[in-house]
Amino acid sequence: MAHGTALIYDEEMTKYKLLWVDPACKIEVPERLSVSYEALVRNGLADRCVSIPVREATDAEILLVHSDEYLEAVKKTPYMTLEDLKEFTLQFGDVYFHPNIYRCAKLAAGSALQLVDSVMMERVRNGMALVRPPGHHSMRSAASGFCVFNNVAIAARYAKQKYGVKRVLIVDWDIHHGQGVQYCFEDDPRGVFGKGRIIFGCLKCNILVFVLFIFNSVLYFSWHRYEHQKFWPQLRESDYDSVGKEKGAGFNINLPWNQVGMENSDYLSVFCHVLLPVAYEFCPDLVLVCAGFDSAIGDPEGEMCATPDIFAHLTHLLMNLAGGRLCAVLEGGYNLTSLPQSVCQTVQTLLGDPLPQLANLSGPCRSALESLQCLRSAQKQYWGSLKHTASPTAANISTKRIRIAEGEVEEEEKTELGEEEKNSEEKVWHEPPKRPCPPIRAASVLPDDVACPDGCKRITKDIHPLVVSRLKDHLVQEAEDGDALATFSTLVSLVQKMEKNEVGSGLALVGDVIKAMMCVVQHVSPDLNRVLVVCVGNGKIPSHISRDGKVLVLQISSDASEEQQSKHYISVCLQKGCCNTSGFMQAVLGLLLPVGYEYNPDLVVLVRMPDSGVCDVVWKQLTGLLQSFAKGHTLVLMQEKENSCVGPTASILLGDPAPPLETLQAPDREDVDAVERLRRRLQADWKLLQTTSEYTS
C-alpha cells in the first residue's frame, strides 16, 4: 500500500513573465506559483510531503500530444528578440512567450510526468505538481490561454504508454474549458482498442444485449464558465452536448456554468449527480486533475463564490477512485489569496488530514440545475447510472445559446465589468478552518479476544459511573448485564473523546448494534447538534429516534420498511439488497452524499446490521466517503461475530484508500427507479437532491 504525498515545485518556473502590454495576459504572473508554494511551507504542509525533483520533458514525451512542427517552432523562442517574440505570439490567442518560457514549459510537463512516475511506481500514494505555464488549453499545434504544452494530456498518454494504464480519468475543475484536452482525447479510445460496443442479437429469444466494453480510454470531465458561449474561449464545442466522437462518445463530459456566482452547493451537486456516478462506472486506474483554482471565490476570471475549503472535499471525493492514485497538476488561479488557500486545502486532503465541515449548503441554483439536467440527459445513453434521467422538456430548459443563435431572444447586454469594476467588488470570505489531526486517529472497543488492528488504539471497557447512571434509566434490562453496560458506557465516552477531537473515528464490535446505536445517539452531549446514522442491511430502527431533527437516519436495505418515510428517516430499499454493488453505490452517491452534505452532521454513526450482505469493497468505499462529514468523526458499529470486518474498516478509518470497485455494471432498473423515486420525493426537503430545474421556485 503506497503512502505519502508528492510535492513537485521548482522556482525556475517562476522565471518568465509578460514583457509587453497585453490586458488579456497580465493576470498570469510568477507570484501565482511562489505564493502557493510559500503558503504550503508556512502551513507546515510542504515538509510533510515527499519532495520530488522536477525534470524537463523530452521531445518524445512532448510529441505524445504535440506536432513536430509546433515543437520545433517553440524551440526557437529562447533565441528570439522581443519583437520576434511578439510576432510569434500573435498567431495564438491569449498567450504570451518569453525567452525562458520554453524551458519552463518543459519543466511543467516534466513535473507532471515525475508525478505520474512517483504514483505509478508507488513511491507515493498521490501528489501535486505546482507548475507554470499551465497546460489544458494548448493544442496539438497551438499555444492558447497562457498554455504552451498540455501537461495533463501528455501525462495521460505517458501513463498509458509507460505503465499500460487502461482507463484514465481527467477531472478539470479549472473555471475555463480545457479545449486542448478535449481535442486530444475526444475520439479516444482510438483504433481497435476502442470502447467496443458489441451488440449481441439472439434472434431466438430476441434479446439484445447491449454490452459496453471499456478497454482503453481517457474520460475527460470539465466544468467551465460558459455564459451561453459568451465567455472565453467562446467555443460551441464547450457546451454540454459535446460528448465525444464515434467510439469516444460518452468519454467527454462538459458542464457549462451559464451564470457566475456559483457556490459550493453547485459544485457538489455536479460531483454527486454526474461526475461521481460516471467515474465509479468508468472505474479508472488513475485520476489526473487539471487543478485550476480560478473556480474559487475572489478570482477575477471565474467570478464564482465557491470557498477554498470546497477543494478539500472535491479532492477527497476523487481519492476514493483508482485506489487513491491521484495526480493534481496546477492550471489556473489568479487571486493571490484564494489560490494559495485552495492549494493548501487540496494538499492537506492528499495528506489525509480531516476534512473541514462545509457550512450551510443550500441547493444548486436554477442555472446550475439546467446545466446539470441538460448534461445528464445528453450523457444518459452512455452511462448506466444516468440511464433513467428525466429528459428535459423545453419548458424547463432554456438552451439560451440556441435561442440567441436563432435570434429568438435579444441577448441582454452582457454587463462586462471592466478590470477596475471587477476589483471594486472585493469578495470576502472566511480563512479556511484549521484541520487539526486528533492525537488518536482511530480507536476501537473490542471483545478482549479480538485483536486491535495496527494503528488503532484499543479503548478498554470500563464503567463510567456518571454515564451508567444516565444509562440505567434508559436501558433497564441491560442494567443487570455488566458487560453491556461497560460497552455502552465506553462507547459514550469514546464519542465524548471525538467531540474533543482527542479521537478521530472509532469502531466497535457489540452484542446488539441497534441498542448500541440507540444508546450512543441518546447520550451524545447536547452540543453535538446533529447525528447522521447510516444503517446498512435489514433491521428495524425505532423511528422515534429521529425526533427533533437532531438525528437523521438513512437505511439501505432490501426490505421496504413499512415505516413512513420522513425528512429525517429515509430508508432506501434495494431489490437485491446491499450485495448489489451498482445499486448500492447509486444510493450512496445520489442520495446519501447529497443529503449528508446538506445535513452537515457533527457525528456519523455507521451501523452494519447483522447479515447485511454488503461486500467488503463497497463497505470500504462507504466508510471512506462518510469521512467527508463531521470532520471525519465516524463511529462504526458492527455485530460481535463480524471480527473479519474489523481490519478492513480500521484501514479505511486510518486513511488507507478504498480499493477500486470493478467496472460497475449498469445498476438494475428497479434499484435505479427506487433511488430516483426516493430522490424525487425527498428533494422538497433536501435541495441537494435536485437534478432538474422544474422544482425550483
Ligand X SMILES: NCCCNCCCCCC(O)(O)C(F)(F)F
- Among ligand X, Zn ion, none, what does residue 136 contact (CB within 5–8 Å per kind)? ligand X
Sign of CA dihedral 348, 354, 360, 365: positive
Which residues, 6+ apart, have CB-to-CB distance to 487 below 8 Å? 445, 461, 508, 510, 511, 516
Window 161-200: contact mask with ligand X (x via CB under 6 A): -------------x-x------------------------
Contact region with ligand X (CB under 6 A), list: 132-140, 148-156, 442-450, 673-681: 132-140
Part of the chain binding Zn ion (CB under 5 A), chosen from 242-250, 324-332, 604-612, 669-677: 324-332
The smaller minimum CB distance to ligand X, of residues 286 and 329, is found at 329
Give least dist CB 122 to ligand X, A: 29
# of chain residues touching ligand X (CB under 6 A): 15
d(CA 435, CA 633): 12
Query: Is 136 one of the binding residues for ligand X (CB under 6 A)?
Result: yes
Residue from 4, 110, 127, 134 in contact with ligand X (CB under 6 A): 134
The residue within the footprint of Zn ion, chosen from 332, 340, 356, 504 (CB under 5 A), is 332
Inter-residue contact 215 to 166 (CB < 8 Å): yes
DSSP 36-93: HHHHHHHTT-GGGSEE----PPPHHHHTTTS-HHHHHHHHTGGG--HHHHHHHHHTSB
Which residues ranging from 262 to 291 are in contact with ligand X (CB under 6 A)? none
Distance, C-alpha 651 to centroid of its chain? 21
29 binds ligand X (CB under 6 A): no
Using CB under 6 A as the binding rule, whether residue 145 contacts ligand X is answered as: yes
* Cell numbers describing residue 29: 504572473
- Whole-number minimum distance, CB 189 to Zn ion, in Å? 27
Residue 171 CA to residue 318 CA, distance in Å, equals: 9
Q: Which of 298, 309, 219 is nearest to 264 (CA)?
A: 309
Q: How many CA atoms lie within 13 A of 192 on its CB side?
A: 0
The window from 11-19, 134-142, 249-257, 438-446 that contacts ligand X (CB under 6 A) reads 134-142
d(CA 468, CA 474): 10
**147 binding partner (options Zn ion, ligand X, none; Cβ < 5 to 8 Å by kind):** ligand X
Sole binder of Zn ion in the list 292, 363, 583, 648 (CB under 5 A): 292
Distance CA 370, CA 397 (A): 6
Asked if residue 232 binds ligand X (CB under 6 A), the reply is yes
Q: Which is nearer to Zn ion, 333 or 648 (CB)?
A: 333
Count of C-beta atoms within a 10 Å radius of residue 207: 9
Among 110, 292, 537, 583, binds ligand X (CB under 6 A): 292
Beta bridge partners of 432: none
Instruction: Give the CB-nearest residue to ligand X.
Output: 332
- Identify whether the C-beta of residue 498 lies closer than 8 Å to the C-beta of residue 627: no
The region of 197-205, 209-217, 288-296, 588-596 touching Zn ion under the rule CB under 5 A is: 288-296
Residue 117 interacts with ligand X (CB under 6 A)?
A: no
Q: Which is nearer to ligand X, 292 or 648 (CB)?
A: 292
* Least Cβ distance, residue 105 to ligand X (angstroms): 12
- Using CB under 6 A as the criterion, what x/- string covers residues 71-110 for binding ligand X? -----------------------x----------------
Total number of residues that touch Zn ion (CB under 5 A): 5
Which residue, 136 or 679, is less far from Zn ion as judged by CB? 136
Range in contact with ligand X (rule: CB under 6 A) among 129-137, 201-209, 341-349, 510-518 = 129-137
Tell the residue number behind the cell numbers 450512496, with chain if given.
588
Which of 331, 602, 656, 671 is the binder for ligand X (CB under 6 A)? 331
Segment interacting with Zn ion (CB under 5 A) among 74-82, 106-114, 292-300, 369-377: 292-300
Q: How far apart are CA 233 and CA 223, in angstroms?
A: 13
Q: Give the integer Cα–Cα distance in Å for 263 and 540.
A: 38
For residues 447 and 456, what is the distance between their CA atoms, to the nearest angstrom? 14
**Reduced to 3 states, what is the DSSP secondary structure of residue 177?**
coil
Q: Tell me the C-alpha distance between 125 and 129, whole Å.
A: 14
Alpha carbon distance 671, 278 (integer Å): 16
Does residue 176 have an active-site annotation? no
Residue number of the CB closest to Zn ion reads: 332
Residue type, 93: G
Cβ within 8 Å of residue 296, ≥6 positions away: 302, 304, 306, 307, 308, 310, 311, 333, 335, 338, 339, 341, 342
Q: In terms of CB distance, is 176 or 497 closer to Zn ion?
A: 176
Closest to ligand X by CB, 147 or 270: 147
Query: Which is closer to Zn ion, CB of 127 or CB of 292?
Result: 292
Active site residue: 98, 136, 137, 273, which one? 137
Task: Please give the residue ranges that form the binding site for Zn ion (CB under 5 A).
Answer: 174, 176, 292, 294, 332
Task: Please give the residue ranges that form the binding site for ligand X (CB under 6 A).
Answer: 24, 94, 134, 136-137, 145-147, 174, 176, 232, 292, 294, 331-332
Please list the active-site residues.
137
